[in-house]
Chains A and B, each alone.
Chain A
Amino acid sequence: MISLTGYLILSAMLFVIGVTGVVVRRNAIVIFMSIELMLNAVNLTFVAFSRYLHGIDGQIFVLMVMAVAAAEVAVGLALVIAIFRRKGVVNIDEINILKW
């Protein structure tokens, strides 16, 4: 039987990989995927705690996180498409019209 710490360390690793992706990558879509990775790591933490504390609340939170993730991805990808229509790029280095 794996201890709670095992699951928490795994989800910390997934989260950090997601953070690295957001910081390092320049493609907006890959950045969204990294955000999904982070959300999944958090979900794993919730479910692990829910299992080891015998509570169901953690799984309810996972449902909420999934709904928010779906909304976030839909809106984010719509933004990417809108930006791509205007500027023809999805590279966040070149999307700098808010920078002064």
Chain B
Amino acid sequence: MTSNDLLLDSAGRIFADHSDKAVLDAAERGEFPERLWNALVENGFHQLAMPDSGVELADVFAVIGLAGRHALPLPFAEALLANRWLGDSARLGSIGLVQGDRVVDVPWGRRAELILALDAERGAYALLDGGGAGVYVEQDRNAAGEPRDAVPLPEGVTWMPLTEPAAAFLALSRGIAMAGGLERVLDLSLQYANEREQFGRPIARFQAIQHNLALMAGEVAAARRAADAAVDAIGGERFELEVAAAKSRVGEAVGIAAEIAHQVHGAMGFTHEHQLHHFTRRLWAWRDEHGNEAFWQQRLGRHLAALGADRLWDFLATRG
């Protein structure tokens, strides 16, 4: 086992132990998964992305992908990245986006003690108190029922320059989490198709089902390869463009794969009791967070148009 495998293995065990259907349902009712968060802190996972953690950023994103596979119901990527940029803290950090005089789309802003307010236009961030520190929070949620809150941006906050492509890191965190979530949804669909019997045989034996699942497997594999490629580009000059390609390609895969997953699962998958929706709703929500397909496609397309038709192939034929 490599150190990467060990890391994923121990993360996977914590995720599996503390992120079952009951925890997911409770989180959706607004109960923060304190036991999960404590377990992560006890095992040092909140420090995983710190510059001196000894863990490569690529491996950090692999763990974030695994968190997506488990639909981890807390702001995992945000807590890790906030610690990376703000310094060590066992207090829960989250990250929101400056929009006018507010900081919006803050995952679990109601519970976070620190909020990093990101102003991409200014190329800067500011540090705010979160709901956990007694600040007024306007509660909101995404399609998966995950808290996406807003706090007022106080006047006179201190802005500090961003030293890393924070927006791209956040987009990649969603991209890799979606790749993990897609793999889970494929596993669930394959399992269901092999178990569910109609007309006297498992529905997996029907060609119509087989072909839809084959199509889905292609999209899931493409999503994984695209997200991994962006992770591999961290630190390189193409990084933001690779994130653009990955976030948009994964987002397209979500549209196709989640639809097929539900079709295969039939009415069972449409019930709240079934676990499928915890994953598919997150996939639908995440593809719109930190830039959807259209946003990143335009970004990549503008770059390529400026390069020109005769350099298009050179850009595509990259070694990595």
Q: Do A and B come from one complex?
A: no
B-side interface residues toward A, CB under 8 Å? none
